[in-house]
Chain A
Amino acid sequence: MKRLKSILLHLLLVGITIATIYPILVVISVSLRPSDALYSTSLSLIPDGATLDAFKVILTDKPFLLWMRNSLIVSLSVTIFGVALASTAGYAFSRFRFPGRRVGMIALLVTQMFPATMLLLPLYVLMRKLGLVDSLLGLIVAYTATVLPFTVWTLKGYYDTIPRDLEEAAMVDGTTQIGAFVRVVLPLARPALMITSLFSFMSGWSEFIVARVILSSQSLYTLPLGLEGLAGTFQTEWANYSAGSLLVCLPVVLLFLSLNRFLVSGLTLGGVKG
């Protein structure tokens, strides 16, 4: 009986997992299609005459590597700034009591409720005034601000779970509070730092709407803008688009899987002790 139940549970899970990864298998399948079989009504995952041509086209005929370079610059900068700013701000919210603390925390949460349409046009006007339109720096500043509320809350929540005694012990030994933060708290907060880095990187890597408003030069296009162009033009590009998508997904998927073990522990969402 117990054995039967276990087998059924495993089967159920296998079924759900296959359904979950099916769309990803479809992308792989389309990317392998030869260009004369784009309108295919076959359900087999490895198409007849499977070829890697689309990957070749993407990497040589399209400015894919340029888009990737731009995306890397943006995403890495957002990660560095997003996590650096959030790690200190989160610490202030977690360890200090000061006027405006509660208001600040709630204001961060409220910014999450602003619809994108509310900020897009004003953001464009502002970036024009600052001369940041059509520059990667403009994009970096915009993305950093959008990831901060989430990263600050996540880090604050994680710091809350670290006992204060550890910092106090270090401070008795003559370190300042900032010294204790850097040498004691930050290393302990590694899971949360990993997770917030991952999110910052991903939001820079996948964001599309703000990029379309801020960037106009093709030479500055990030991956989402470039790929969208491929999906938008001719149906013949479908295989190229899929190959490009896979190349875009690969780094984030690898990052995700390598940080998998931090996911559960790093996300404490605002002070719920896990």
Chain B
Amino acid sequence: MTTWISRYRVPYALLLPTGLVIGLVILYPFFYNLWLSMTNMSLYHINDPAFVGLRNYGEIFKESELYSVLGKTIIWTVVNVFFHVALGIALAVLLNEGIRGKGIFRALLILPWAMPQYIVALTWRGMFSYEYGSINLMLTRWFGLEAVPWLSDAFWAFAAATITNIWLGFPFMMVIALGGLQSIPKELYEAAEIDGAGAWQRFWRITLPMLKPIMVPAVSLGAIWTFNNLNVIWLVTRGGQPADSSHILVTYVYKAAFTYYRYGYAAAFSVVIFLILFGFIIWYLNRTGALQDGVAR
């Protein structure tokens, strides 16, 4: 025992403070939440919650709400991450094409990343305003289109939140892709050019495959962040409006917990969200092969 401790003393000592803080603030609440999910705690039973087993879980799966909100969450995540990655890679490639003033463009293009999310969300909310928002003003004045009921129609409210979040998230992917591009040897492109490969072919045959190892961890992180993004939907659609139609899972639970005070139910729902996300990420990492060689090498 003493030799075991002395053998690993240094790494364990280095990890101890981090372990303590994470144990206290993340792991303890996690287990507390598990317990909570099996009680009937609500505003009426705040001090005398009773153990109810898996009743909350049963209730979640009985409600048809779960499936439609889950569907929206998946659409939200896929659309957002797709545009983050597509825009990020496209801009990174563009910046690498010998652009003049590259540094200035890069600095301006990462600005959305530097802005606090809540400010961005409230700003875009103002821009989506039906009468005074600059987006409708542009659509009607410059393009002669009809004004779009951005915040009062279920579909458009969801679209508005998505546009806001796409704006917020592409700079991160662009920076990661820029880093990835630097690690691709120039000789590959030269050889391909000699073999007569066009720019389009070089992009699909060299750039994309070579970017994959660096993009896969970024995409999983991006998917996790987007899936659980409470701020943007909540603030742009003002808590899921109109009529709770623009919720994703996490905002739906937030409402259940902090507007309707159904704590036990919300705790169970949070566990379900976590398990769905966990399953999805494991599936994704397995599919891309990142689990074998990437994580915890």
Contacts and interface: CB of A to CB of B under 8 A. Distances in A.
B270 A117 contact: yes
Interface in B73-102: 91, 94-95, 97-100
A35 B183 CA distance: 52
A249 interface: yes
Contacts of A110: 278
Contacts of A170: none
Contacts of B17: 85, 88-89
14 contacts: A26-B127, A26-B134, A43-B134, A43-B137, A85-B18, A89-B15, A93-B15, A98-B11, A106-B295, A114-B26, A117-B254, A119-B25, A121-B267, A145-B24
Contact of A92 (B15, B28, B114): B15
A146 B113 CA distance: 18
Contacts of A30: 126
Given A121-B267, A142-B25, A264-B182, A17 B18 contact: no
Interface stretch (B61-69, B173-181, B189-197): B173-181
Contacts of B132: 39-41
B200 interface: no
Interface string A8-44: 0110110011001101101100100000000111010
Interface of A: 6, 9-10, 12-13, 16-17, 20-21, 23-24, 26-27, 30, 39-41, 43, 81, 85-86, 88-89, 91-93, 96, 98-99, 101-102, 104-106, 108-123, 125-126, 141-142, 144-146, 148-149, 152, 160, 177-178, 202, 205-206, 208-209, 224, 227-228, 231, 238, 241-242, 245, 248-249, 252-253, 255-257, 260, 263-265, 267-274
Contacts of A118: 29-30, 33, 267, 270-271, 273-274
Contact of B281 (A113, A231, A255, A268): A113
A91 B281 contact: no
Contact of B110 (A86, A91, A113, A263): A263
B260 interface: no
B154 interface: no
B29 A123 contact: yes
B116 A120 contact: no
Interface of B: 8, 10-12, 14-15, 17-19, 21-22, 24-30, 32-33, 36, 91, 94-95, 97-100, 103, 105-120, 122-124, 126-127, 131-132, 134, 137-138, 141, 167, 175-176, 178-180, 182-183, 213-214, 217-218, 221, 224-225, 228, 230-231, 249-250, 253-254, 257-258, 263, 266-267, 269-271, 273-274, 277-278, 281, 294-297
A150 B273 CA distance: 21
Given A10-B99, A271-B294, A260 B107 contact: yes
B127 A23 contact: yes
Nearest to B100: A10
Contacts of B115: 24, 249, 252-253
A17 B99 CA distance: 13
Given A39-B132, A245-B119, A272 B294 contact: yes
B271 A267 contact: no
A194 B107 CA distance: 17
B105 A13 contact: yes
Given A121-B36, A269-B214, A112 B270 contact: no
Given A145-B26, A228-B118, A267 B175 contact: yes
B114 A117 contact: no
A88 to B, nearest CB: 4
A122 B127 CA distance: 36
Contact of B113 (A98, A112, A256): A256
Contact of B214 (A119, A144, A202, A272): A272
A267 B167 contact: no
A142 B28 CA distance: 12
B278 A224 contact: no
- Top 8 A-B residue pairs of the complex, sorted by shortest distance between their CB atoms: A206-B116, A122-B29, A145-B25, A118-B270, A96-B11, A122-B32, A92-B14, A256-B114
Given A41-B137, A91-B14, A120 B114 contact: no
Nearest to A206: B116
A267 B176 contact: yes
Contact of A272 (B134, B213, B250): B213
Contacts of B26: 111, 114, 119, 145-146
